[in-house]
A = this chain, B = another copy of it.
Amino acid sequence: MKIGDLAKATATKVETVRYYERIALLSPPARTSANYRAYGSEHLARLSFIRRARDLGFTIEAVRELLTLSDDRSQSCQAVDNIARAHLTEVERKIGDLTALRSELDRVVGACRHGTVAECKIIETLAPR
């Protein structure tokens, strides 16, 4: 499997695959005589895992931890749970922030009377009194 095939199979860009190798998230594969990367199914599984975790919004460092944890199948699930819960809390915080922001913006945009900038409520909201 060449890098382009792996990339396609995981909906990843080729450059991103190479980037994951550079930051040691993905182990360097064997090379062909032409120095092309040759991937096997273990790489496909690993990259799929990475992409799903990234899609769920886990940071690269969190993914790195999850990968390490998932490699030791006999270990307790506690650490995995902690990472996921921490991430969930963070996502909830962001939703809260954005929801507050939306109210503000709704208010600001709703106040616009489409006159000149001098009487613009949006600019007024931003400008100091």
Contact = CB atoms under 8 A, between A and B. Distances in A.
| A contact patch SS | helix
B128 A80 contact: no
A120 B114 CA distance: 56
A113 to B, nearest CB: 7
Interface string A80-120: 11001101100110110011011011101100111111111
A2 to B, nearest CB: 19
Contacts of A126: 49, 52-53, 56, 66, 70
Interface string A56-75: 11000000001001101111
A45 interface: yes
Interface residues of A, number: 52
B115 A77 contact: yes
B81 A112 contact: yes
Contact of A77 (B52, B74, B112, B128): B112
Contacts of A69: 117, 123
A25 interface: no
The 9 closest A-B pairs by CB, nearest first: A73-B118, A77-B120, A48-B128, A88-B105, A70-B123, A81-B112, A52-B126, A95-B98, A75-B117
